[in-house]
Homo-oligomer: A and B are copies of this chain.
Amino acid sequence: MDLAAAVLEGDRLALARCLTHVENGAPEGREALNRLFPNTGRAHLIGITGAPGTGKSSLVNQLARYYRQPGGLENSGRMRPLRIGIVAIDPTSPFTGGAILGDRVRMRDIAGDPGVFIRSMATRGSLGGLANATAGLVQVMDAAGFEVILIETVGAGQAEVDIARLAHTTLVVEAPGLGDDIQAIKAGILEIADILVINKFDQPGAEAAERALRSMLKLAHPMPHVFRHHGQQEIVPSGYPDREDKPLWMPPLQRSVATEGVGIVELANAIERHYQFLHDTGEWQQREQARLQAELDAILQETLVERWRSSVSEKRYDDVLASIVARDVSPWQAVKTLLDGDSG
């Protein structure tokens, strides 16, 4: 039986092998992705992001445990344990490519559950490459029948935004007492939040942090007629009835103490409400389309560069580079020379 078929049959070993091929960009991985792709599009992709020290891993752990309980979710048609995939993007060296897996230790209590599959990925190479690889891992898990896929990223920058574009629902996790400077970053990250979690709510300063976040949220979602649309803000002109009638999603603020399991049910319910919102408004389909378009564009870019590279001799490239280093031509002029076959 081939790899893709084994993944579809639920073979965990095949799944692990397939994920490795995809992460490494191996041909077997690409072939499996092509075979698996028709089976994707069913999972609810949930991104969890936030600064270091906010307790994201514990939160992911608790959510996974909650989804594994029988009895289902309030406000939800899902009355059986859900199968949970976890993709954790580890903070790691971009140079050595080695993952720091310390955080994963916290997930020990769910790691033995056959309904949970955890995959850590080292951040490596370009960010575009990372987003591509993550998209691939998520597709494999989706095709393998995992119904909720939790995508955890650490940091506070473009990486989170790129990964968030992969998700249907994005949780931004904050914690009290992480310093003033982090506030500045929050403003940016807040805009990608579908749900805002203040974790470690038992710590000093939690309520002050909540107040601050509430006012920042108002800044990020100031007007009734601004729509969040594939993560980008779009001003909807008044007198545009089709849009004005559409209900708005105002990101809720959820309190939690993940290490104690406090606030997890409420968070899962907020996620469920967002899931319903996405389906009721057609936003689910819009996010799907935006996500697949971003993936198409990334692969196009990668392929165009690869193909061009194999069409030009190393000597020609080196000569042009040398003329830049000698300050004879600017990089822009050099590109024109290389692409237009001009001798310079």
On A, residues with C-beta under 8 Å from B are 30, 33-34, 37-38, 40-41, 51-54, 90-96, 100, 102-103, 123, 126-128, 130, 154-159, 161, 178-182, 184-185, 187-188, 191-192, 231-233, 288-289, 292-293, 295-296, 299-301, 303-305, 307-308, 320-321, 324-325, 327-335, 338-339
Residue in B41, B92, B185, B296 whose beta carbon sits within 8 Å of that of A321 in the complex: B296
Q: Can you report 14 A-B residue pairs in the complex whose CB atoms are below 8 A from each other?
A: A30-B332, A52-B185, A53-B178, A53-B180, A54-B181, A93-B187, A96-B233, A126-B128, A155-B157, A289-B321, A299-B331, A300-B308, A300-B339, A301-B304
B331 and A295 contact, CB distance less than 8 A = yes
Given A33-B330, A127-B127, A184-B335 contact (CB < 8 Å)? no
Q: How far is the CB of A260 from chain B (nearest CB, A)?
A: 18
Return chain B residues, CB-CB under 8 Å to A158: 94, 123, 126-127, 130, 157-159
Given A179-B52, A185-B154, A339-B305 contact (CB < 8 Å)? no
Given A157-B91, A303-B335, A335-B303, A325-B188 contact (CB < 8 Å)? no
Return chain B residues, CB-CB under 8 Å to A52: 51, 156, 179, 181-182, 184-185
A56 to chain B: closest residue by CB: B181
A55 to chain B: closest residue by CB: B181
Q: How far is the CB of A211 from chain B (nearest CB, A)?
A: 19
For the complex of A and B, the 10 pairs showing the least CB-CB separation, nearest first, are A37-B330, A53-B179, A52-B181, A93-B188, A53-B181, A91-B185, A34-B330, A304-B304, A155-B157, A127-B158
B308 and A324 contact, CB distance less than 8 A = no
Return chain B residues, CB-CB under 8 Å to A324: 292, 296
CA distance A185 to B51 in the complex (A): 11
A179 to chain B: closest residue by CB: B53
B157 and A335 contact, CB distance less than 8 A = no
Q: How far is the CB of A56 from chain B (nearest CB, A)?
A: 9
Return chain B residues, CB-CB under 8 Å to A320: 296
CA distance A321 to B300 in the complex (A): 12
